[in-house]
Amino acid sequence: MADQHGSEPPGPAAAAELRNFLSEVPTPAAVGHRIVHSGPHLTGHTLIDARVRALLADVADLAPLHVTPALQVVDAARVLLPDVPHVACFDTVFHKDLPAQAHTYAVPERWRTEYGLRRYGFHGLSYTWALQRTAQALGRPVDNLQVVLVHLGGGCSACAVRNGRSVDTTMGLTPLEGLVMSRRSGSLDPGALLWMQRQHGLSTEELDDTLHRHSGLLGLSGTSGDTRDLVRTRAEGDAAAALALATFTLSCRRGIASMAASLDRLDALVFTGEIGEDQPEVREEICSALTVLGVRGELLVPELEDLMREGLRRVDQAGSGVPVLVVATGETQQIAAETRRVLGM
C-alpha cells in the first residue's frame, strides 16, 4: 500500500484510480481526507456528512488549487466506500485560536464581519507533526516551547508557536499570502494588483491564474519552480536562477523574523516540507543570514535517506546558537492520527 502514491493533483480520473487502489487492498476502517481550508464554520477535524460537504463547497474558492480537487476525491471515496466513516482533516485547525491581533486585517468592520475577511493560516497538519517531533527531540514539553516552524514545499509558510499554540503565521485568508513559493507569488503590494487592473486591463481570471500558477520561483527564473533545478543552473551561471533563489531565501528570512516578533524567545527554528527537508543550500542561505535571531550557518547536511528513516535531525553546530532542526514531513501520519481521534479509535 505504501507504494500507492500519486504525485499529481486529483483530476477526472480520480474515481477510477481510487477504485483500482481499493481493489488491491483490504477495506479500510476509515478514510481521512486532507482539506486545506475549513472556512469560518468548521473549527475542528470532523466527520464528513451532507452538511459538512456543503460547507466545504462554499469555501472552495478560497483555496482553489487544493479544495476543489480534494472534494473530487471525497465524493469518489464516499461513493465507493459508503459504509465507512470519512473524516475531514483541516490545515486551518492548528491556527484556529490565533490571537485577534494576528488574524485581523486592517480593513473596515463590514469587510471583516459581513465578508469574513480574516487570516486563517495553513500547513497546520504539517506543523502539528513537526511541533510534536521537535518537542521530543529537545526533550521539552510542547507547552513550554517557543519556536518558529517553516514549511517549504510547493507552498511555503512560516508559523510562530508559543507554548504549543499557533500565535502568528504568514499565510492569510488564502494560501496565496506570505512567502515566495514554487509557482505562487506570495505577498504583493495590493496597490500593484489594482494598478494592473486599471492600467493594463488584467481580468480577475488572468490575475488569479498568474499569481497561482506562473509566479514565485517559476516566474522569477522563467524556467523552473523547483529549487533543485535552480541550485544546479545557478552554479552553471544562470543569473535568473540566482535572482530567484536570492529572492526566495530573503522572503523566508523576512517571514521567519516576522514570526519571531510574536515570541518572547526562540527555542528552535524548524524546517519541514520538501524543500525544507531536501535542499541544504536553501537552509544554509536562510540560516547564515539570520544571526540577528541567534541562528548560525555552517549547518550539518544529513543524508536524505537517514532523515526519512529517522524522521528528524538536528543540523546546527552544537553550542553555536539557536537549535535548527529538520523534520521529515508527516502530514499523512497526522491525518491518520486525527482521523482516529475523531472516531475515538
Dump pLDDT digits (tens) for 279-335.
999 999 999 999 999 999 999 999 999 999 999 999 999 888 999 999 999 999 999
Residue 57 and residue 140: Cα distance in Å, rounded? 40
Residue 171 and residue 62: Cα distance in Å, rounded? 12
Residues 6+ positions from 235 with CB-CB distance below 8 Å: none
pLDDT (tens digit per residue) in 213-252: 999 999 999 999 999 999 999 999 999 999 999 999 999 9
Asked whether residue 10 carries a pLDDT value surpassing 70, the answer given is yes
Range 97-126 average pLDDT = 97
**Residue 137 is placed in which grid cell?**
527531540
CA angle 199, 208, 251 (to 5 degrees): 90
Residue 235 and residue 101: Cα distance in Å, rounded? 43
Q: How confident is the model at residue 2 (pLDDT cuts 50, 70, 90)?
A: low
Active site residue 91: yes
Write down the pLDDT at residue 49.
96
Q: Which of 124, 134, 63, 122 is nearest to 94 (CA)?
A: 124
- 216: number of Cβ within 10 Å: 26
191, containing H or E segment: helix 190-200
86: helix, strand or coil: strand
pLDDT (tens digit per residue) in 165-192: 999 999 999 999 999 999 999 999 999 9
199: helix, strand or coil: helix
**Residue 253 is placed in which grid cell?**
528570512
pLDDT (tens digit per residue) in 196-215: 999 999 999 999 999 999 99
The structure's pTM equals 0.95
Residue 1 and residue 206: Cα distance in Å, rounded? 40
- Out of 49, 58, 91, 168, the active site residue is 91
